[in-house]
């Protein structure tokens, strides 16, 4: 099956270097209907399922995700909650774990490699199911990311991957903490954003680490894929070293000002340090603060927070 409908040479030139949108036909697999998604949710391991809502209390981090307990609900109830409530469901690595989805992921990346000649490795794909009111906060991804929008309408804001929007020290802490990808955000940053209204069947990709946020306009189903390239692995190992230098020795480094030999040495050191896991910053505990309740007005009931254990 051909995944892309209108890929041109221009798309090949743009891919990874700038923002690109192109049509795809993932909906035709039949794997993203509500019925198929309910079956997927029922069989997906709970450790790899995130059901979140948005908080409103952090000024520089608007719409920060809160983690929810979904264990009282089956897949059908979760779909119902996503349609009517204020939730965002990430079926993490669904495209890798389940054979029928994995076959599609292999097709997607097979076609990209064939067209662009760019090999990718470690491609991971997740399925996102989200409410009309859902918003994804301002953040950046550590590896190359593609959003394959399938159903509904969503607006994505993409910002330049520069110091102004993504300072090195913020990126360094993202790299070392591994889980927390949010970045401080103020509304005036939107003046520099490029805004895209995604229709069903549109794929969008952007430059490595470009910060972005998403506002849903309706109930939405999408796939998000990420993969490493030499470029992202190189940058992340350097940023890891810079973060350790800054935390342990107070040495501040700037990615943009480092010479190539310096980058190679830091990259080597970073891969080594990561293996040694010198950085034992454990800010990463995930607290569950609400549960999905199908009898509540927006399907959300606040609970006494507890560390996630499912």
Interacting span for Fe ion (CB under 5 A) from 21-29, 138-146, 250-258, 299-307: 138-146
Q: Give yes or no for a contact between 236 and 175, defined as CB atoms under 8 angstroms apart.
A: yes
- To Fe ion, the closest distance from the beta carbon of 136 in angstroms equals 7
C-alpha distances (whole Å) from 169 to each of 25, 61, 230, 232, 246 are 39, 17, 22, 17, 9
Q: Which range touches Fe ion (CB under 5 A), out of 46-54, 102-110, 134-142, 227-235?
A: 134-142
Q: Does 141 bind Fe ion (CB under 5 A)?
A: yes
Spatial distance between the Cα atoms of 134 and 127, rounded to a whole number of angstroms: 15
Residue nearest to Fe ion (CB): 141
Tokens of 100: 């029928």
Of 80 and 226, which has the nearer Cβ to Fe ion?
226
# of chain residues touching Fe ion (CB under 5 A)? 1
- The answer to whether 293 contacts Fe ion (rule: CB under 5 A) is no
Distance CA 128, CA 40 (A): 12
CB-based contacts of 301, cutoff 8 Å, min separation 6: 290, 291, 293
| Token output for 58 | 């952090």
Nearest Cα residue to 127 out of 29, 56, 217, 213: 29
| Candidates 19-27, 34-42, 102-110, 141-149; binding stretch for Fe ion (CB under 5 A) | 141-149
Q: Which is nearer to Fe ion, 142 or 176 (CB)?
A: 142
* Nearer residue to Fe ion within complex by CB, 53 or 225: 225
Q: Does 50 bind Fe ion (CB under 5 A)?
A: no
- Positions touching Fe ion (CB under 5 A) are 141
């Amino acid at each position: 099956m051909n995944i892309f409908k209108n890929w041109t040479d221009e798309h090949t030139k743009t891919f990874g270097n700038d923002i690109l949108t192109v049509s795809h036909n993932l909906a035709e697999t039949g794997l993203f209907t509500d019925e198929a998604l309910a079956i997927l949710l029922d069989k997906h391991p709970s450790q790899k399922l995130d059901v979140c809502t948005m908080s409103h209390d952090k000024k520089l981090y608007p719409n920060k995700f809160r983690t929810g307990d979904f264990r009282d609900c089956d897949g059908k109830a979760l779909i119902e909650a996503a349609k009517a409530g204020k939730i965002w469901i990430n079926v993490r690595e669904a495209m890798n774990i389940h054979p029928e989805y994995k076959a599609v992921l292999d097709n997607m990346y097979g076609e990209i490699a064939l067209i662009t000649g760019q090999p990718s490795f470690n491609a991971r794909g997740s399925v996102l199911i989200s409410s009309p009111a859902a918003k994804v906060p301002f953040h950046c991804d550590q590896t190359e990311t593609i959003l394959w929008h399938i159903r509904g309408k969503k607006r994505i804001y993409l910002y330049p991957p520069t110091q102004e929007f993504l300072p090195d020290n913020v990126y360094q802490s993202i790299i070392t903490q591994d889980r927390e990808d949010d970045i401080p955000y103020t509304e005036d940053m939107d003046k520099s954003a490029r805004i895209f209204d995604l229709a069903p069947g549109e794929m969008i990709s952007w430059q490595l680490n470009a910060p972005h946020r998403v506002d849903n306009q309706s109930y939405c189903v999408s796939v998000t894929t990420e993969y490493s390239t030499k470029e992202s692995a190189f940058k992340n190992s350097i940023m890891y070293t810079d973060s350790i230098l800054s935390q342990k020795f107070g040495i501040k480094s700037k990615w943009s000002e480092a010479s190539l030999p310096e980058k190679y040495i830091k990259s080597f050191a970073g891969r080594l340090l990561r293996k040694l896991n010198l950085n034992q910053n454990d800010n990463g505990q995930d607290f569950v603060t609400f549960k999905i309740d199908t009898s509540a007005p927006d399907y959300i009931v606040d609970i006494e927070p507890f560390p996630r254990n499912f």
